Amino acid sequence: MKKDSVKSIDKKILSSLQKDATRSLSEISKEVNLSNTPCWSRIKKLQNRGYIKSRVALLEPKKINLGVTAFIFLSVGQHTPEELKKFVNEIEARPEVTSFYRVSGDYDYILKVQIESIEKYDEFSQGLIGNIKFTNFTTSFCMSEIKDTTELPLKYI
């Protein structure tokens, strides 16, 4: 399946799985108007070709005491391979960081951090600052979540 050869039925399957991957094969098959075996075959092909990265359960952060969402915008001082590897390892080792992007613009990286409280965030950020040399470190706290989805638009395939 090349990007331009993904069939309409495959888009329907991907859309269905993005909404709720816990439903049974029978339910998905009915939704996309296929019998179970061809539907399962298409799902396996989509997985094998990399369209489906994983199937996971999305947890409600507040239910697991993660009431604070922070976005950290930062720039690092050193761009040597050794320093960048140290930086990446430091960030990857911190489970509070749920998203980590290298970006263009005024900053080098953006991190999404989900944590229990402002006090815990302060401990977290002080730990980062103590281990990595930053030239810029700015935090914005989420005041209200307006849209947060894992569903990707499928109109481009």
Residue range 88-137, pLDDT digits in tens: 999 999 999 999 999 999 999 999 999 999 999 999 999 999 988 899 99
Identify whether 152 is part of a domain.
no
pLDDT of residue 80: 87
What CATH number corresponds to the domain at position 12? 1.10.10.10
pLDDT at 63 over 60: yes
pLDDT at 155 over 70: yes
Identify whether 153 is part of a domain.
no
pLDDT of residue 1: 47
Q: Are residues 40 and 109 in the same domain?
A: no
Identify whether 23 is part of a domain.
yes
What CATH number corresponds to the domain at position 107? 3.30.70.920
Identify whether 70 is part of a domain.
yes
Rounded Cα distance between 3 and 7, Å, is: 9
Helix (H) or strand (E) holding 140: strand 134-141
The answer to which of 39-48, 53-62, 74-83, 103-112 has the lowest mean pLDDT is 74-83
Residue-by-residue DSSP string for 52-121: -----PPP-GGGGT--EEEEEEEEES--SHHHHHHHHHHHHT-TTEEEEEE-SSS-SEEEEEEES-HHHH
Number of domains in the chain: 2
**Domain carrying residue 25:** 7-48
Q: Are residues 31 and 97 in the same domain?
A: no
Q: Are residues 36 and 87 in the same domain?
A: no
Identify whether 149 is part of a domain.
no
Identify whether 92 is part of a domain.
yes
Average pLDDT, whole number, for the chain? 93
Identify whether 113 is part of a domain.
yes
Q: CB burial class (10 A; 0-12, 13-18, 19+) of residue 83?
A: middle
pLDDT of residue 77: 81
pLDDT of residue 5: 63
